[in-house]
Structures are given as C-alpha cells and as structure tokens.
Amino acid sequence: MQRTSMALVVSHRDELRTPASGGPAAMADYLADRMGKPLRVPSLDSFGFQMVGGRVLPDTGGPAVQFVFTDPEGHKVSLYVCSEQANGVDITYALEDDLSMFYWNDAERSYALVTRVDDEKGREALLTAAKAVHRQLSR
C-alpha cells in the first residue's frame, strides 16, 4: 500500500480531473461510479486545503481513487483510497524519498494521505490532517 500510493502520486501528477460544476460531491460521485463503491470526500478546509480534482488509478485490488487538495501557496496533499480488505490498521507513518505518508485501513478500504514535508512541524501537520480525515471517513 505505501509504495503503491507514493509511486502513483508521483507518476500520475498530470492526469487530474477537476471537479464538475457540482463541486466535490459531483467529483465523489464520478469517482465512486468508476470505483464501483460509494465514496465520501473529506474536508481539509480547516487546514487551508481545497479539493481541486481526482482520478481513478489502477491497483492490485481493483480501481483506486486519488483526491488532490491544494492550499493557496500551491502545496498539494493527495488522499489515495483503494479497496483492500483488512482488519484495521491504526494510522502509521511512512517516508520514501521526499514523500511523507500516513496510512490506515478499515474493513473495506485502505487510505493514504501523502505530501512532501520538510521538517517535523510538517510531519505533525500531516498527522493532524490524517487524523481528521480518518474521523470524517469513519462516521
């Protein structure tokens, strides 16, 4: 999961679909249709990030989805969601090259929040965002 989501973040940078006029909900519906399962888009507004698009990506367990968020300075955060049956993994940190990721899973899906961070402060901010996304998607 870690290596796949980090590799896909890097390799699919330019294939982003922007939200339709319906905004994030319309994008979630579009991506859910392609994934074959309902999806919710978490809000990262309180962290200064707005969803700017998403895409369907290949994964070993079937289609996966990547949501992309940006802040006013152009920093990007990607949420990777794939259908992967698991027993639930707590939020775990991984670092590869210059990409930091917090990942977790539940009974139906695996999730990874990925971005570039420069220091411990950035890592802590990413962890806080990952916990917020986890809470929103666990409701």
CATH of the domain at 126: 3.30.200.100
CA 128, 129, 134, 137 torsion-angle sign: positive
- Read off the pLDDT of residues 9-45 as tens digits, 9 standing for 90 and up: 544 455 565 555 567 788 888 888 888 888 888 999 9
- The Cα–Cα gap between 10 and 112 comes to 14
- Read off the pLDDT of residues 49-95 as tens digits, 9 standing for 90 and up: 999 888 888 888 788 999 999 999 999 999 999 987 666 778 999 99
With tokens 């590869």, the residue in question is: 96
User: What is the number of alpha carbons within 13 Å of residue 86 lying toward its C-beta?
Assistant: 15
What residue numbers bound the domain in which 56 lies? Answer: 2-138
Domain count, the chain: 1
Whole-model pTM?
0.83
